[in-house]
Amino acid sequence: MPESSCCAGESSPGLLSDLYTTGALVLWPWKTGPVFWYTANVPGPFFINTEFLIGRALAERLVKSLSDIVATEAPRDEHARRLNDLILGAWREDPTYQRVIAQLAQATEGTFPSTTYAAISGGERRDWLFSIPLAEVLKRPHLFLFKDKSTFSATPLPSGQAVVHVADLVNNGASYLDMWLPALHALGLTCPGTVCVFCRNASGRAKLEAAGLKVLALGEVGVDFFKRSLDAGLIDQDDYTQIIAYAESPRRWAADYLMNRPEVFVLSPSDTKSPERMRLFFERDPWRLREAYAPFFQRMLDGLPPVQDAVC
């Protein structure tokens, strides 16, 4: 087993405030809705876009450009060159971006001694916003991991070398276990641990620990995090109360804040993913609410379009 997962100290006051002021973390408007929908097809009270820490406009521009580059018909070495130029160019010109990477670098150096790993890896796409400049600061080769299971490093990485994986966010650990760790193992590389900006799911962290990884996060988004947010005046008592209710029991939170409230399920016409997630929630009833709220469940299902073959 690895050493215990760790956090690089409590989130600094500046980082804590930045999460809210940049929109990297958003609480749902629980009095009016709508609620957020997660990729696990369940609702939740907050949403994290870690990349917004570098500035929302910059992050949105870079993410779009990352997608455009990867979508072009070109060899992976050309993709990597263009991705490096894009990200490092933005990082070198933006003090906010530099500050976030400097925090990551300091935390990484304090947890993973330079002699214990040979390279930094990052997965398509948002990981690259952090992994590429971090590799530059730490003077390590960068290993690109693509969703189609292809990989590229401009520097050869012999079998047996160790790689630290860098991510924007650790959630349920699925991308690590399903894509990134298998890709590293296929190259004969080991992974002693991962560095992320934030960790929001204790079960995801536990899964990575069980796989032998040390998990280093600049901050952990949990009960203590929201208590510090309350103390700092970044959220109010009502927000804190309903978030704690969710942390203690998502089922009880849904019963108290969502059931028999159709208005909190109204979605924006531009939201293309949430309708399917919502339908799957009401069809599968993962939190066993249907028996107590059968008429409401049926009302919601009757108003939703059928699930498509490919679920986002």
Task: Give tens-digit pLDDT for 214-228.
Answer: 999 998 898 999 999
Q: How confident is the model at residue 305 (pLDDT cuts 50, 70, 90)?
A: confident
pLDDT digits (tens, 9 = 90+) for 23-41: 999 999 999 999 999 988 9
**pLDDT for residue 201 is more than 80:** no
Q: What is the pLDDT of residue 57?
A: 96
- Lowest mean pLDDT, pick from 3-7, 98-102, 186-190, 220-224: 3-7
pLDDT, residue 308, reads 54
What gap in Å lies between CA 276 and CA 304, rounded to an integer? 8
pLDDT band at 102 (very low <50, low <70, confident <90, very high): very high
The pLDDT of residue 304:
84
The CATH architecture one would assign to domain 6-11+56-220 is 3-Layer(aba) Sandwich (3.40)
| Residue spans per domain, the chain | 6-11+56-220, 271-312
Q: What angle do CA 87, 60, 30 make, to 5 degrees?
A: 140
Which residues have CB under 8 Å from 252's CB, separation 6+? 245
- Give the 3-state secondary structure of residue 194: strand
Residue 61: CA count within 13 A, CB half-sphere: 10
Q: What is the predicted pLDDT for the residue at 138?
A: 98
pLDDT value, residue 236 = 96
- 10 — pLDDT class (breaks 50, 70, 90): low
pLDDT digits (tens, 9 = 90+) for 250-296: 999 999 999 999 999 998 888 888 999 999 999 999 999 999 999 99
Q: Say which range, 8-12, 86-90, 139-143, has the weakest mean pLDDT.
A: 8-12
Confidence (pLDDT) at 171 = 87
Q: What pLDDT score was predicted for residue 311?
A: 41
Q: Report how far residue 77's alpha carbon sits from residue 79's, in angstroms, rounded to the nearest whole number.
A: 5
Confirm if 37 and 43 have CB atoms less than 8 A apart.
Answer: yes
Question: For 1-6, what is the mean pLDDT?
Answer: 46
